[in-house]
């Protein structure tokens, strides 16, 4: 694991950590840790106080990105393996999806990412080897995504092999759920322009219930998650015919 990823994991677990302690835990100098923290704060992953690093406010979008960061990173790394150089894909606005975009930007060549996430577009803006097509629409300030019928106007011009989406919950009746109606509707619109719908989510989402229906199991091709998923749920998903990949 890269040192910055280790820092995120430690701060996420402890909520607030002294810089001196981080340097000792990772066996590097305080100067090195401060440089790492500067970069992480610039990315919005952590918040700096004098002598401390702490997790962002829970209402901040970056907080959701940092929550279960290590698991999400592993899921994103595994999902990157099915993305080909030169491919055009659609990526929705979930936190694990953002990390997938970063993995693609770091390791793939000439990939075009279509997305409704302004946050995602900004997160990978420094990488030169990918192209971003940002779908327009009504801007949601908190989630930093574009939603609404204008999404369809642009996305209808494309047809891709893969759409990557996140979820907020799962219903044992075979329904993947979201927490926001407009975002769920945007995902459905993007799914109409993709051959395969692929879910990226950490296993904690399978014991949560979202407010609105996003996808039925019949609409999903593959799920990337972690080995913490409940055995009964994983067997159920496989019985539905889904390709379940755990890391």
Would the pLDDT of 58 be above 60?
no
Give the max Cα distance, the chain.
53
pLDDT digits (tens, 9 = 90+) for 175-233: 999 989 999 999 999 999 999 999 999 999 999 988 899 999 999 999 999 999 999 99
141 and 222 belong to one structural domain: yes
pLDDT digits (tens, 9 = 90+) for 135-184: 999 999 888 999 999 999 999 999 999 999 999 999 989 999 998 999 99
Quote the pLDDT of residue 231: 95
Last residue of a domain, one of 47, 65, 83: 65
139 and 19 belong to one structural domain: no
224 and 242 belong to one structural domain: yes
235 and 185 belong to one structural domain: yes
Q: What pTM was computed for the model? A: 0.81
130 and 217 belong to one structural domain: yes
Least confident segment among 41-55, 87-101, 174-188, 190-204: 41-55
Quote the pLDDT of residue 2: 75
100 and 56 belong to one structural domain: no
Print the domain residue range for 46: 3-65
61 and 182 belong to one structural domain: no
Q: What is the CATH number of the domain that holds 233?
A: 3.40.50.1360
Quote the pLDDT of residue 229: 96
Quick one: CA dihedral 5, 9, 11, 15, positive or negative?
Answer: positive
Last residue of a domain, one of 28, 50, 65: 65
Q: What is the CATH number of the domain that holds 20?
A: 1.10.10.10
Quote the pLDDT of residue 89: 98
What domain count does the chain have? Answer: 2
């Amino acid at each position: 694991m890269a040192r910055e990823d280790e820092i995120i994991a430690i701060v996420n677990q402890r909520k607030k950590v002294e810089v001196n302690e981080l340097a000792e835990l990772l066996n590097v100098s305080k100067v090195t840790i401060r440089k790492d923290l500067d970069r992480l704060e610039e990315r919005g992953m952590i918040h700096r106080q004098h002598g401390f690093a702490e997790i962002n406010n829970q209402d901040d979008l970056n907080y959701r990105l940092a929550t279960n960061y290590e698991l999400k990173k592993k899921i994103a790394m595994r999902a990157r393996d099915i993305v080909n150089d030169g491919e055009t894909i659609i990526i929705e606005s979930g936190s694990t999806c953002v990390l997938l975009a970063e993995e693609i930007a770091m390791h793939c060549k000439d990939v075009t990412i279509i997305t409704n996430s302004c946050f995602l577009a900004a997160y990978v803006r420094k990488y030169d080897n990918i192209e971003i097509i940002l779908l327009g629409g009504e801007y949601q300030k908190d989630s930093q995504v574009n939603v609404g019928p204008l999404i369809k106007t642009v996305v209808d011009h494309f047809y891709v092999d893969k759409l990557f989406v996140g979820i907020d919950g799962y219903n044992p009746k075979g329904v993947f759920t979201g927490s926001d109606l407009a975002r769920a509707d945007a995902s459905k619109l993007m799914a109409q322009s993709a051959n395969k719908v692929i879910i990226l989510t950490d296993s904690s989402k399978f014991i949560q219930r979202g407010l609105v229906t996003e996808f039925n199991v019949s609409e999903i091709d593959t799920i990337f998650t972690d080995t913490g998923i409940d055995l009964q749920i994983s067997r159920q998903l496989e019985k539905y015919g889904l390709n379940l990949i755990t890391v």
